[in-house]
C-alpha cells in the first residue's frame, strides 16, 4: 500500500523559513517525477513545484519561484521543500505526490495523497 507522509509544517512569521519533508512508502519513487501541491482554505489545490527522477530538473509555480527549493533523496524515498521568505499567502496545507505532466499541467499521477502538513504564515 502506497503511503505518503508529509511533515515539517508549522506556524512562522512573514519572512521566515520552513523545510517540509515527504516520506514515501509502499513503492520506490526514485523513477517518478515528484511534486508538491498546496491547498488554501476555500481554494482549489494548486501546483507548487516538481522535480525530475534524477533531481536534475526542477519547475516552480511563479508564485514561489526564487523562494522555494524542491529536492529529493532517492535512497531514502523522500522529497523535500525548502521554503524561504514566506508570505501570508503561502498559508495552506502542503501535499506531495508522484506527478505527471498532462495538457492541464502537472497532475497527481496515481491518485495518492498523504494527509498533508499545515503551513501558517502570520503577518
**Residues 63-94: tens digit of each pLDDT:** 999 999 999 999 999 999 999 999 999 999 99
For the cut 90, the answer to whether the pLDDT of residue 27 exceeds it is no
- 121, containing H or E segment: strand 117-122
Report the pLDDT value the prediction gives residue 74, as an integer from 0 to 100. Answer: 96
pLDDT in tens, 31-66: 999 999 999 999 999 999 999 999 999 999 999 999
Distance CA(53)–CA(66), nearest Å, equals 21
Residue 62's Cβ-count burial label (10 Å; 0-12, 13-18, 19+) is exposed
Amino acid at each position: 500500500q502506497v503511503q505518503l507522509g508529509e511533515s515539517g509544517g508549522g506556524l512562522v512569521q512573514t519572512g521566515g523559513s520552513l523545510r517540509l519533508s515527504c516520506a514515501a512508502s509502499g513503492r520506490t519513487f526514485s523513477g517518478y517525477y515528484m511534486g508538491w501541491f498546496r491547498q488554501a482554505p476555500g481554494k482549489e489545490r494548486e501546483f507548487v513545484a516538481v522535480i525530475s527522477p534524477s533531481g536534475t530538473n526542477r519547475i516552480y509555480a511563479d508564485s514561489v519561484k526564487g523562494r522555494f527549493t524542491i529536492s529529493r533523496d532517492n535512497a531514502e524515498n523522500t522529497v523535500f521543500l525548502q521554503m524561504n521568505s514566506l508570505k501570508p499567502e503561502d498559508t495552506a496545507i502542503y501535499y506531495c505526490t508522484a506527478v505527471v505532466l498532462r495538457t492541464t499541467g502537472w497532475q497527481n499521477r496515481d491518485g495518492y495523497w498523504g494527509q498533508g502538513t499545515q503551513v501558517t504564515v502570520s503577518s
